[in-house]
Amino acid sequence: MRIVLLGPPGAGKGTQALLLKERFNIPHISTGEIFREEIEKNTKLGLKIKEYVSKGLLVPDNIVIEVVRKRLSQPDCSKGWILDGFPRTVAQARALEDLLKEIGQHLDVVIYLEVPEEEAVKRLLSRGRGDDRICTLKRRFKEYLEKTSSLVDFYKKRNLLIMINGVGSIEEVHSRIIKELRKLKLYEE
Ligand code: AMP
């Protein structure tokens, strides 16, 4: 199973990704997490991207695409994966298409988690990650609206998109996702 999780900051992508990872036994790839680790370890890449992440700005496409290319080429990704937080721009989405063609894989489904901004902000503020302060949050939402939200149409056109109501308990949202995956015959118990 090859899944992209899409949605505004605070929609619950990371949380749902972990449940899907357990159910399907496939790696969860979060570009945000990869970046935070690189920053923590003070690597060359970490230093390059630190400013963007701390300000709530998107890291330039070429850097992100290279990171994902490397990760998806690792052996544990051969049977499937969950991408969380990538793609975030149309250029990234196109690069993903090219990359998958190149390595002979295809995307099964894009799960869009719908959560009203008010609820998302509430969740983010209670999480308290370094880039969750209110001014940085505002910028992350702006980046989302300007650069990422058009991916909804991008994937609708490709018939890959399912919309999931992201409001409710973690288990409720997970069940909604599983129900849709069953409908699409992507999953049988
Ligand atoms: P996340 O953990 O997905 O909320 O990402 C945290 C931060 O990492 C974002 O605010 C961006 O600065 C950066 N980031 C993560 N994924 C991407 C991406 N696909 N494109 C650009 N920047 C990204």
Tell me the CATH number at 106.
3.40.50.300
Best residue among 40, 53, 71 to mutate for probing ligand 1's pocket (most ligand atoms within 8 Å of CB) is 53
Confidence of residue 64 (pLDDT cuts 50, 70, 90): very high
66 occurs within a structural domain: yes
104 occurs within a structural domain: yes
189 occurs within a structural domain: no
Does the pLDDT of residue 28 top 90, yes or no?
yes
Q: Whose CA is nearest to atom 19 of ligand 1?
A: 86
The number of domains in the chain is 1
Across the chain, mean pLDDT equals 96
- State the distance between the two ends of the chain, measured CA to CA, in whole angstroms: 14
Which ligand 1 atom is nearest residue 140's CA?
10
So what's the pLDDT on residue 165? 98
61 occurs within a structural domain: yes
68 occurs within a structural domain: yes
Average pLDDT over residues 158-169: 98
Share of the chain above pLDDT 90, in %: 93
- Least Cα distance to 186 among 21, 13, 1 occurs for 1
So what's the pLDDT on residue 148? 97
So what's the pLDDT on residue 127? 87
| Cβ neighbours around 44 below 10 Å, total | 8
Does the pLDDT of residue 187 top 90, yes or no?
no
So what's the pLDDT on residue 55? 95
188 occurs within a structural domain: no
Does the pLDDT of residue 189 top 80, yes or no?
no
Compute, in angstroms, the gap from residue 88 CA to the centroid of ligand 1. 8
126 occurs within a structural domain: yes
So what's the pLDDT on residue 188? 82
Q: Whose CA is nearest to atom 4 of ligand 1?
A: 32
Average pLDDT over residues 79-99: 98
Does the pLDDT of residue 153 top 90, yes or no?
yes
Which ligand 1 atom is nearest residue 52's CA?
12
Does the pLDDT of residue 35 top 90, yes or no?
yes
Confidence of residue 158 (pLDDT cuts 50, 70, 90): very high
Domain extent for 13: 2-183
- HSE-up of 86 (CA within 13 Å, CB side)? 30
- Least Cα distance to 31 among 61, 75, 76, 74 occurs for 61
